[in-house]
Amino acid sequence: MTSQPWLVALDIDGTLLDYDQTLSDVVRDAVRDVRAAGHHVVLASGRSLIAMTPVARLLGIETGWMVCSNGSVTVRLDPDRPGGWVVEQIETFDPEPALRLLRQELPEARFAVEDVGVGFRLNELFPDGELDGEHSVVDFEELAAGGEVTRVVVRSPDATSTDFHRLVERLGLDDVTYAVGWTAWMDIAPQGVTKATALDHVRERLGVEPACTLAVGDGHNDVEMLRWAARGVAMGHADEAVRAVADEVTGTIEEDGAATVLRSLL
């Protein structure tokens, strides 16, 4: 058993939850046992805060830390606070330049900006179930000029992952950080902000040594996190670019690969 507490950073979708948003008993129990052993389990996701708190409850996590919105929002869970959390760090940027450039290239795209702990402001509603919280539809001008935000979400059903990467390179969006999710989706965050930058802040607050950091993930927005961790583990179904940066590869989501990694700490 590992005696010194570790910081254990866990992605959610495709790592803890399968594609039907189901959490297996095996994974839930492994998370519970690792926390009971004294390790710090930190959920780290591209999800918004409002979409992460139900997952924390599902896992039985009422206290501790969460990294939301790909690192733009870091919260400390506290059942005695309104909502059960308090924002400890938030990173913002002016979305207007990126939004205007992207709209020129993707005139049919839908855009959303996050209202932390509330929901999203959008120029057009997204399909049901894609964004959590309250949704406020505003015109594009109000969306672009509405002040600093933590994240911009771009949804373009006709765009592939490759299309998004090429678009960013062509537009020269070097003053933001972007993460391409599933085929039709791209997140834009403040420059230099990733799950890894937020997790290092949490690590310092917890007093955990860099050598005692573990991260598990499956997506391109997990790459920096896997590189940051002393032990970066890619899920077995992750694509080659993600697996290539990991120190090791575990089983797939169907094989409860995250549970295998967690139990190695016990």
Residue 107 shares a structural domain with residue 184: yes
Last residue of a domain, one of 190, 213, 240: 190
Residue 24 shares a structural domain with residue 85: yes
pLDDT of residue 181: 60
Is residue 162, in this structure, part of any structural domain at all?
A: yes
- Give the pair of three-digit tokens for residue 265: 């700490």
Last residue of a domain, one of 190, 225, 245: 190
Q: Is the distance from CB of 16 to CB of 258 less than 8 angstroms?
A: yes
Residue 136 shares a structural domain with residue 212: no
Q: Is the distance from CB of 135 to CB of 110 less than 8 angstroms?
A: no
Alpha helices of the chain — where are they, by DSSP H? 25-36, 49-58, 96-105, 140-144, 161-171, 195-206, 223-228, 240-245, 257-263
Is residue 48, in this structure, part of any structural domain at all?
A: yes
pLDDT of residue 175: 54
Identify the domain containing residue 171 by its residue range.
96-190
pLDDT of residue 80: 93
List CB contacts of 22: < 8 A, sequence separation 6 or more: none
Residue 100 shares a structural domain with residue 168: yes
**Amino acid present at 196:** A
Q: Is residue 194 helix, strand or coil?
A: coil
Distance CA 234, CA 215 (A): 8
Is residue 143, in this structure, part of any structural domain at all?
A: yes
Q: Is 21 left (phi over 0), alpha (psi -120 to 50) or beta?
A: left
pTM: 0.91
Q: Is the distance from CB of 114 to CB of 149 less than 8 angstroms?
A: yes
Residue 133 shares a structural domain with residue 165: yes
pLDDT in tens, 200-231: 999 999 999 999 999 999 998 899 999 999 99
Last residue of a domain, one of 190, 208, 229: 190
Is residue 258, in this structure, part of any structural domain at all?
A: yes
Task: Output the CA–CA distances (angstroms, integers) from residue 191 to 92, 94, 137, in the order listed.
Answer: 9, 11, 26
Which residues in the chain land under pLDDT 70? 1-2, 173-183
What is the number of domains present in the chain? Answer: 2
Radius of gyration, CA atoms only, the chain? 18
pLDDT of residue 59: 97
pLDDT of residue 1: 45
Residue 257 shares a structural domain with residue 244: yes
pLDDT of residue 215: 98
Q: Is the distance from CB of 68 to CB of 52 less than 8 angstroms?
A: yes
- DSSP annotation string for 156-185: -TT--HHHHHHHHHHHT-TTEEEEE-STTE
Domain containing residue 160: CATH number: 3.30.1240.10
